[in-house]
């Protein structure tokens, strides 16, 4: 019943002009560093429980934090990409709360003096949305442990995070999903984070209020699909309460896949008892640090998408986004396109090469068939069917091109095939088709060509067979 209700609500959802949505997002992003934020423990996400921990991660007395410069650098890269004003002075604070997953009894964050302020991420046609979303602050902080039933795994405790806090600039729910997807692509492309929502590398909290009533925070939503569904459900719930005169309280909720569930009243800054961290020095940065980092960064996703979807590549947006999500694939495509020097590169990359992997239920691996080998196959004199056979054989067996051609007996078979004899045999076995051709249905000759191609497994060009059938008939 709940599932049917949720689906029905999603299909019939619309924002009502008399009930104004106000929405902001907080995104916690795990930084892709080798070590944790304040200790020399290695970051580990799929390791055995409590094998990536140090004394400091466990909050043992007498241990002290030391800032990981790699985490600071990745955080600054994110700030540059989000067009933030990097602060010359920032420092760390202690956010006090007492949960088992936080052994220190507080989280080290940047509440009073964040790393950067006042940025923007613009949604464009590439995102199927539009609008400029203001970024209020980016702050560097540490992650918590993770609870599994009665066990708490502290491998994640102390992992570097950035918290990206937006302004409430979202005018509709689709913008929220577009923003999260764009941000996810951005941090993955720049090597800041793995970008995975499902594994918790990116965790999204959404604040929603209707008609300026107290805001409700939806915590740790796992996917963009869940964000969409949770926001639609909560918006409808708040509209219903306003209409019936029920009060809306500031609280934190979770999403169970069907409904939003209250977990606790929302704390404020006083509840967390923020105080400056006495063991960590302040961060002092030069005024041109953003320009220096920006100069060393690659093109941003929008620039690359504009290049790939424009002349001379003219890629479909979906293909361009897939390449952007996999840097090795993008490099392979651009190398191959330049070497081939034509739009046939799109056909061979997406319709032939990647399809050959897909038909064998394998992930595309750029090391199996090099761009040089693919060029050699494309420019060879073999028929399209033979070229496809070669690609499939190479993907399946991972052998040199010469061995694939030899194993498939393409060279010898092509030399010994008697095209006229094959065509005569096809004509004799297909009297109905021959009759149609002689009656004026000239296109029926393709049926004969197809049969000949099947007999030779594509080792002869279709044009050669067609010419031979025309002479015979």
| Token pair recorded at residue 260 | 């939003």
Beta strands 85-86 and 93-96, pairing class: unpaired
Rounded distance, CA 100 to CA 304, Å?
Answer: 44
| Structure tokens given for 201 | 């590398």
Structure tokens belonging to residue 364: 């595309």
Total H helices, total E strands in the chain: 19, 16
What is d(CA 90, CA 112) in angstroms, rounded to the nearest whole number? 8
pTM for this prediction = 0.81
pLDDT of residue 417: 65
The answer to whether 140 and 191 are in contact (CB under 8 A) is: no
d(CA 414, CA 459): 6
Mean pLDDT for each 10-residue chunk of the chain (473 residues)? 43 87 96 96 87 93 95 98 98 92 92 97 95 97 90 93 97 94 94 89 95 92 91 95 93 92 68 91 96 95 95 94 91 94 88 95 96 93 86 95 88 62 90 89 89 77 85 86
The SS3 assignment for 293 reads helix
Residue 156 has what pLDDT?
93
Give residue for tokens 């067009």: 83
Per-residue 3-state assignment (H helix, E strand, C coil) for 82-96: CCCEECCEECCEEEE
Nearest residue to 423 via CA among 385, 463, 386: 463
Which position has the token pair 């000949």?
A: 452
Cis peptide bond N-terminal to 126, omega within 30: no
Among candidates 161, 146, 218, 126, which has minimal Cα distance to 36?
161
CA distance between the termini of the chain: 68
Which of 380, 385, 355 has its CA nearest to residue 457?
A: 385
The pLDDT of residue 352 is 95
> What integer pLDDT is reported at residue 266 of this predicted model?
57
The DSSP line for 221-266 is E-SHHHHHHHHHHHHHHHHHHHHHT-----EEEEE-SSSEEEEEEP
How does DSSP classify residue 267?
A: P
Spatial distance between the Cα atoms of 363 and 395, rounded to a whole number of angstroms: 10
Say what angle helices 301-309 and 317-325 make with each other, to 10 degrees: 140
DSSP letters of 132-185?
Answer: EEEEEEEEEEE---EEETTEEE-SSTT-EEEEEEE-S---SHHHHHHHHHHHHH
Burial of residue 77 (CB within 10 Å: 0-12, 13-18, 19+) is: buried
CB-CB contact of 189 with 80 (8 Å) = no
* Residue 413: Cβ within 10 Å count: 14
SS3 of residue 27 by DSSP:
strand
Measured in degrees and rounded to the nearest 5, phi and psi for residue 415 equal: -70, -35
């Amino acid at each position: 019943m709940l599932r049917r209700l949720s689906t029905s609500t999603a299909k019939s959802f619309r924002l009502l002009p008399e009930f104004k949505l106000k929405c902001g997002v907080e995104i916690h992003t795990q930084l892709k560093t080798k070590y944790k934020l304040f200790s020399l423990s290695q970051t580990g996400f799929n390791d055995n429980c409590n094998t990536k921990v140090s004394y400091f991660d466990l909050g043992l007395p007498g241990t002290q934090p030391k800032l990981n410069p790699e985490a600071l650098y990745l955080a600054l890269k994110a700030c540059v990409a989000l067009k933030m004003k990097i602060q010359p002075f920032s420092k760390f604070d202690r956010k006090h709360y007492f949960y088992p997953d936080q052994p220190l009894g507080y989280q080290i964050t940047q509440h009073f003096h964040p790393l950067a302020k006042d940025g923007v991420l613009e949604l464009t046609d590439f995102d199927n949305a539009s609008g400029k979303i203001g970024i209020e602050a980016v702050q560097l902080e540490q992650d918590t442990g993770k609870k599994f039933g009665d066990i708490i795994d502290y491998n994640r405790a102390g992992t570097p995070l950035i918290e990206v806090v937006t302004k409430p600039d979202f005018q509709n729910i689709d913008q929220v999903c577009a923003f999260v997807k764009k941000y996810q692509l951005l941090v993955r492309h720049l090597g800041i984070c793995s970008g995975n929502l499902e594994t918790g590398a990116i965790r999204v909290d959404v604040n929603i209020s209707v008609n300026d009533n107290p805001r409700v925070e939806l915590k740790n939503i796992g996917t963009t699909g869940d964000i969409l569904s949770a926001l639609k459900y909560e918006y409808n719930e708040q509209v219903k309460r306003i209409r019936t005169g029920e009060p809306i309280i500031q609280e934190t909720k979770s999403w169970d896949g069907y409904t939003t569930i209250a977990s606790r009243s929302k704390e404020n800054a006083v509840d967390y008892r923020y105080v400056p961290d006495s063991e960590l020095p302040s961060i002092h940065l030069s005024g041109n640090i953003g320009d220096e980092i920006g100069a060393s960064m690659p093109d941003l996703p929008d620039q690359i998408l504009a290049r790939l979807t424009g002349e001379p590549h003219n890629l479909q947006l979906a293909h361009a986004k897939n390449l952007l999500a996999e840097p090795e694939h993008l490099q392979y495509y651009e190398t191959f396109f330049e070497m081939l020097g034509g739009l046939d590169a799109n056909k061979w990359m997406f319709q032939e090469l990647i399809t050959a992997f897909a038909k064998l239920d394998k992930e595309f691996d750029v090391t199996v068939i090099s761009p040089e080998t693919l060029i050699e196959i494309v420019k060879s004199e073999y028929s399209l069917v033979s070229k496809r056979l070669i690609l499939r054989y190479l993907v399946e067996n991972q052998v040199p091109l010469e061995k694939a051609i030899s194993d498939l007996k393409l060279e010898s078979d092509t030399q010994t095939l008697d095209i006229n004899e094959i065509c005569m045999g096809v004509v004799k076995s297909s009297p109905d088709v021959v009759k149609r051709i002689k009656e004026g249905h000239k296109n029926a000759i393709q049926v004969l060509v197809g049969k000949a191609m099947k007999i030779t497994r594509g080792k002869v060009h279709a044009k050669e067979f067609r010419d031979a059938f025309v002479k015979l008939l």
